[in-house]
Amino acid sequence: MGEYSKKLHFVKNGVTTDITLYDEFGAEVPVPALHYKHGEYETDITLYDSLADVGGDDAPCIYVEDAAQQAYAKLVSPDSINATALRVKYNDVTYAVANSKNEGVVGLALIEPGGGAGTWAKVDSDGNNYVPPDYNSLAPWSGIETVTIDGQTMVKIPKFYVKYGEIPAGRDNAGKKARWVSRKKLPGFHIHPAFVKNSKVMDCFYIGAFEAYNAGSNRAGSKSGQSSWNNVSFPYCVQYCNNRNTDENDVEKRGWHLQNFYERCAINNLFLIENGTPNAQMVLGNGGSVEDSTMVVYRGIYALFGCIWEYVDGLKCDSQGFYHILSNRGTGSIVPTGVAAPNFGTNSWIYEMSEEKGAEFDLTDAFVPSKLVDNYEQGTYPDQLQTRWSAGGTPGDRWLQIGGSNTELRVGLFQYDLAGGSGVSTSNLGFRIAKYGEITDEIAYDD
């Protein structure tokens, strides 16, 4: 761009406002970003060097031109999450110039349930078909990293915000249900409950890169090359993780706990949106023994399924068959949902997840089965839910085990077992440590 085009002007009611061309670091760039400011309203508008990036040759757009070089800005519906206050009228239709603040919002729509793993479509913030950029450069995926804390190998999952709902009319996938992820809090989005502690937002959480091992002194750990700690009942899994909390004033020695359901659901959410399918076996493999090189790995997290079952805190089924789940306020309490768990025993596959909401829970933030089928080909999630809360089991609560220890159809990210009580301990059942991130000043919920 030449010197003349480094300043654009917008005039309204005799007031001239500058639109300055800068990148996000304040430097001028050949294909710039528009910075729009009028009064207290301020936003960024990304410019692209190709018409294909803004909808193709026939799509209405605006562009900046200098010496035959053109840079294009997207136009969207005025009610889009990406809409700015800058409007353009074309063929009697009003468009809004899209900003860059909401770029990075990505989602996944369920186009058709069943068929073994469902039919899905990756979508943008409006629900239109979308091919996202490399996830390695897209938050929150770009912020996932393996770290060492108190000598343990952990994977950091940065905070993100979520939205679930029906795609509105006029979009490619209108009427379909979708879930979205955003690195920022945007209209209609809320923090995922995995990042909430005592009603405040945390900057991240950490999950063990490996299944828990016996680190001595009745403490669980996470390190490569260690045998998983099996034959441990649920209460002791909780205790052995909590035993790492030895100094509240030391950031590395506080916040340890047994992995919880919201944390696993956050990971599943990222996997689902990134890969466009719940079929983790197809993407990652079907797993193997802990010592086996065939262990599945997702973004530095080893053996999320396929080696052993793992106890997970925060979801249980009571003796009457109703789900109880962690409060989304991050208080650590378990709240009743009043939602009945489907009871198919064994050999049942997940067709549908619950969308129920209530006091301190929203099941769309998680993956809680609400409808099962007895045939793999009819399932939407290619994993099973096992429940035996009324038949074939003793009375009492059933705590979640996740992942699976067999190959083929009985392992996966959505492989759930709610058939066993808290006292169950077997050679193919272990657990995984996790750690809370640092609490920020941000309030998790407005209500």
Sequence-ordered list of residues with C-beta below 8 angstroms from that of 249, at least 6 positions apart, any chain: none
Beta-strand pair 301-302/398-402: unpaired
Query: pLDDT confidence of 252, banded at 50, 70, 90?
Result: very high
Residue 417 confidence (pLDDT) = 86
Report pLDDT for 247.
Answer: 97
Question: Are the C-beta atoms of residues 369 and 352 closer than 8 Å to each other?
Answer: yes
Measured at the CA of 127, the angle between CA 126 and CA 132, to 5 degrees, comes to 90
In 3D space, the residue among 328, 319, 290 whose CA is nearest the CA of residue 432 turns out to be 290
Share of the chain above pLDDT 90, in %: 53
pLDDT at 392 over 60: no
Give mean pLDDT, residues 368-384: 90
Q: Which CATH architecture has domain 108-447?
A: Alpha-Beta Complex (3.90)
Nearest CA among 203, 245, 206 for reference residue 438: 203
Q: pLDDT grade, residue 319 (50/70/90)? A: confident
- Give the pLDDT band of residue 40 (cuts 50, 70, 90): low
Q: What is the mean pLDDT of residues 366-373?
A: 93
Cis previous bond, 395, omega within 30: no
Please state, in angstroms and rounded to a whole number, the distance separating the CA atoms of residues 82 and 80: 5
Could you give the CA distance from residue 281 to residue 412 in angstroms, rounded to a whole number?
6
Spatial separation of the C-alpha atoms in residues 62 and 75, rounded to whole Å: 8
CA 83/CA 102 separation, integer angstroms: 9
Contacts of 278 (CB under 8 A, 6+ apart): 117, 118, 268, 272, 380, 381, 382, 383, 412, 413, 414
What does the domain layout of the chain look like in residue ranges? 3-98, 108-447
pLDDT in tens, 86-130: 777 777 777 777 665 456 789 999 999 999 999 999 998 889 998
**Per-residue pLDDT tens digits for 164-218:** 999 999 899 999 999 999 988 888 899 999 999 999 999 999 999 999 999 999 9
Write down the pLDDT at residue 220. 98
Q: Is the model more confident about 78 or about 36?
A: 78
Across-strand partners of 75?
Answer: 97
Long-range contacts, 61-69 (Cβ 8 Å, 24+)? 62/88, 62/97, 64/1, 64/5, 64/8, 64/21, 64/32, 64/34, 65/5, 66/1, 66/2, 66/4, 66/5, 67/2, 69/1, 69/30
Map residue 132 onto helix, strand or coil: coil
pLDDT at 390: 46
| Selected residue with higher pLDDT from 68 and 11 | 68
> N- to C-terminal Cα distance for the chain?
48
pLDDT of the residue at 207: 98
Asked whether the predicted pLDDT for residue 24 surpasses 50, the reply is no
Residue 438 has pLDDT above 90, yes or no: yes
Q: How confident is the model at residue 400 (pLDDT cuts 50, 70, 90)?
A: confident
Q: What SS3 state is found at 334?
A: strand
Q: What is the mean pLDDT of the chain?
A: 83
pLDDT-derived band at 6, boundaries 50, 70, 90: very low
Retrieve residue 303's tokens: 């053996």
Six-digit token string for 393: 């089991």
Q: How many helices (H) and strands (E) does the chain have?
A: 3, 37
Kindly compute the dihedral angle of the four CA atoms of residues 338, 264, 187, 142, in this order, to the nearest 10 degrees. 180
Give me the residue label for tokens 């549908």: 352
Question: Is 202 strand, coil or helix?
Answer: strand
Average pLDDT, integer, range 42-53: 65
Look at 16 and 372; give whichever has higher pLDDT: 372
The pair of three-digit structure tokens given for residue 247, joined into one six-digit string: 């100094």
The predicted model gives 249-265 an average pLDDT of 97
Measured CA to CA in angstroms, residue 352 lies from 114, 340, 349 at distances of 9, 13, 9
Q: What is the mean pLDDT of residues 27-48?
A: 55
